[in-house]
Chain A
Amino acid sequence: MTHATLPTFRHGVHPPERKASTAALSVERMPFVERYIVPLSQHIGKAAVPLVKPGETVVRGQMLAKPDGFISTAVHAPVSGKILNLDLQPHPSGQLMQAFTIQADSFSAQTVDTQVPPDVDSLSIQETIQWVQNSGLVGLGGAAFPTHVKFSVPQGKRIQAVILNGCECEPYLTCDHRVMLEQPGNVVRGLRLMMRKLGAQKGYIGIESNKADAIDLLKNILSDQPDVEVVALNVKYPQGAEKMLLDAIFQKEVPSGKLPLDLEMVVNNVGTAAALAQYFDDGVPLIERVVTVTGPAVPEPKNLMVPLGTPLFEVLKHCAVDLERIRQVILGGPMMGFAQKNLQAPIIKGTSGILVFEQPLAEPIGELPCIRCSRCLDACPMFLNPSRLAAMVRREWTDELQQYHLMDCFECASCSYVCPSNIPLVHLMRLGKLMIRQAKAKEQVK
């Protein structure tokens, strides 16, 4: 496959891939540990509402907290044991957040006791949404957007195509790659389930060409299914952003400020599709996920199936990391992930990887003046002008920021990646978006 012939989106960057050390490793199970921290908020939207109290015993797979409204989802026990506490605990976001602390029952067989959903084809769309919401399933690509919301199509709209996102464009991460290789059947069944429930005629699976084995495998499985197409894409970051993926596959732009829904499409992560198919088979809610543990400070890199709520230090110890020597831990990929300070924080639904370094990847370095080299304009997949926007954020020109479409920025950090003057561009974009939101909130108060 030559790169020039493969489709891709416009602009973007080419960070080093660094997937070699885990790409060929099968997913292993992380053993159960003593104690789990299960936050009520592991997804985009409102935090879940607790259903159990400290002191109660819970069974693995039992719902611990129910959704609060539509843009919210359930949280389940990753392990059988006893609820020790419901209080503020370290969270991967860096804040302290309400979370259950669960003492695992070391004598339990850790079997899951849940209700298996009925045959999905006998369910109405509303019932399907209800079941999916109760499964706690969210987008497993990293943003953790509740999956059931994507089944809800507004009146007058329809979905023509379901697109599965197998780009995994972030360096280091290989969990989606492994899911495609080890559960290709689940991926395809999950896609078909979405297509049936949404009435979509066509399905697509977009995969970057550095995962040739996954492309070949899925193409083989789908060779007799003409309505589902595997699309090999040129490797480029941030192709996994849904707007970029649709631009790459269909050369269509989602209108500014709108969703893929406006192109009559919906995008889901391949891991999400596999988890969805699995859920309608055995009824096991989202209580574990595949996490890539890698980086130069990890002696035994792994793709691990980790129970949600496992503290980070337990995962690192399992991969033989010397906790005394490490200097930087990043959750997610190196382009959009979050550096961690507290290793007591748990793995949550959106955690796709743990990257560990003995030398910090990005030490705070001196910033030089902008020389208007226009590299950030060439990198920005949304065709924004980060150089100008950054200057506006520093002057707090909230109105101009909106005129220059700052709200279209999805913080992929391509601008910061290329900036020769080390200007914290994406950081300033985040700040500017906050300013706009605050200005709007103030307006509403008036």
Chain B
Amino acid sequence: MIQPQPTPNLVLTTAPFLREGTTTPVLMNRVTLATLPIIGFSIYSFGLKALLVLLASVLGCLATEALLNRNRTEPKSLLDGSALLTGVLLGLTLPPAIPLWLAILGGMVAIALGKWVWGGLGSNLFNPALVGRAFLQTSFPTVMTTWTDPFQGWGHIAKPNLALPLMQGAVDGMTAATPLGMAKFDHATTAMDLLFLGKTAGSLGETCAGLLFLCGLWLAYKKVFDWRLPVATLLTAGLFAALLHGFFPQRCVAGPVAMLFSGGLLFGAVFMVTDPVTTPLTKKGMWIFGFGVGSLTLLIRVFGGLPEGVMFSILLMNAVTPLINRYTQPRVFGGAR
């Protein structure tokens, strides 16, 4: 008679039994990691206030995420890295002298209206950080277009930073102009080395073109995002800038390179256009999306009322992303070409 065999407690799962292993939190944290040099430069350039604004924005995001996620058993989203990333990205798009309470409010709006009303991570139509920023820009336009000069000392905090909610004193007397503002309103150009090395006024994370470029290269190398999205955006913007600069030098004083290096274009191309959730899945769709962002940005910058148009261009293209996905489905292997 056959001996009874031990019956091991075998685990039943379905194939595949191997996983590549890069998880969504890892992807999120890699992007956050890529912002560290930019955060560092921002603090170096704008002083202590940069750190405070970033912390305020992150606090707003994490607190809102924790609050809205509290009744969900699975998955716990507070530590999946996405709310932290939204907070950091939002913070980097804010002007250095913004009142801290506004940075917190922006973070709350980003997570609540930008993400959770849609159903949480992966369900949102618009880039959450940009929803937060758009809310601030439209509700507090003066604050969001008041800039300070870089390099005012390590410990520098602007008076408006500490303004109390909804009280006077949100705008400082000392203001500076961004390169795009100067180009639009004063028809003045900014030297390329100042743009490249970040010696200009602007939002916390957008000033140093050289550093943004390097961070983008690293993220593309690590395959955190698809290179097509930023490349399509920048190519289109560069091309349009060259055309507009050539045909309307009065309206468009900046050449293509200066156009790419000023304002939020490079930051948007590296960190916003590459948000997977709100951009197309398909290769063809990615080119279309990048083309849309690049061309709209230039139209707003050159012909619109605002000096900068990256944020609204991305949000507009976010809105048509489902449509782009729908009409750019890949050809099936062995299907008609």
Contact = CB atoms under 8 A, between A and B. Distances in A.
Interface of A: 13, 15-16, 34-35, 94, 171, 243, 247, 253-258, 313, 323-330, 334-344, 355, 360-364, 366-374, 377, 381-385, 387-388, 404-405, 408, 413, 416-418, 420-422, 424, 426-427
Interface in B11-33: 11-20, 22-27
Contact of B330 (A253, A341, A373, A383): A383
13 contacts: A256-B332, A258-B334, A327-B10, A334-B17, A334-B18, A369-B120, A374-B282, A377-B330, A383-B331, A385-B330, A408-B333, A416-B19, A422-B19
Given A339-B13, A383-B335, 9 more contacts: A334-B18, A341-B12, A344-B5, A367-B75, A368-B24, A368-B80, A383-B331, A417-B16, A420-B24
Contacts of B9: 327
Contacts of B20: 13, 15, 417-418
B333 A383 contact: yes
A366 to B, nearest CB: 5
A-B CB proximity, top 5 nearest: A369-B122, A413-B16, A361-B17, A360-B11, A256-B334
Given A327-B11, A371-B276, A343 B5 contact: yes
B123 interface: yes
Interface of A is mostly: loop
A335 B18 contact: yes
Nearest to A323: B6
B167 interface: no
Contacts of B17: 328, 330, 334-335, 337, 339, 355, 361-362
Contact of B15 (A337, A370, A373, A388): A337
B276 A372 contact: yes
Given A339-B10, A405-B335, A377 B18 contact: no
A392 B122 CA distance: 16
A6 to B, nearest CB: 20
B157 interface: no
Nearest to B226: A374
Contacts of A421: 23-24, 122
B8 A361 contact: no
B2 interface: yes
Contacts of A368: 23-25, 75, 80, 121-122
Contact of B16 (A374, A377, A388, A426): A426
A381 B335 CA distance: 13
B7 interface: yes
A326 B11 CA distance: 9
Nearest to B76: A366
Contacts of B142: none
Interface string B45-86: 000000000000000000000000000001100001000000
A371 B121 contact: yes
Contacts of A404: 329
- Residue of B15, B121, B276 with highest tally of chain A CB at under 10 A: B15
Contacts of B122: 368-372, 421
Nearest to A325: B8
Nearest to B123: A369
A195 B231 CA distance: 50
Contacts of B15: 330, 334-339, 413, 416, 426
Contacts of B22: 418, 420
A226 to B, nearest CB: 30
Contacts of A372: 122, 276-277, 279, 281
Contact of B281 (A256, A342, A355, A387): A387
Contacts of A367: 75
A369 B24 CA distance: 9
Contacts of B279: 372
Contact of A371 (B5, B11, B12, B27): B27
Given A323-B5, A363-B11, A371-B27, A377 B121 contact: no
B189 interface: no
A385 B328 CA distance: 11
B217 to A, nearest CB: 19
A343 B8 contact: yes
Interface in B288-305: none
A37 to B, nearest CB: 12
A328 B23 contact: no
Contacts of B27: 371, 373, 420
A424 B13 CA distance: 11
B236 to A, nearest CB: 20
Given A368-B23, A405-B332, A15 B18 contact: yes
A273 to B, nearest CB: 25
B105 to A, nearest CB: 26
A65 B334 CA distance: 39
Given A15-B18, A371-B277, A420-B22, A340 B10 contact: yes
A421 B19 CA distance: 11
Given A381-B333, A382-B332, A404-B329, A360 B281 contact: no
A243 B8 contact: no
B190 interface: no
A363 B20 CA distance: 14
A374 B276 contact: yes
A339 B121 contact: no
Contacts of A325: 8
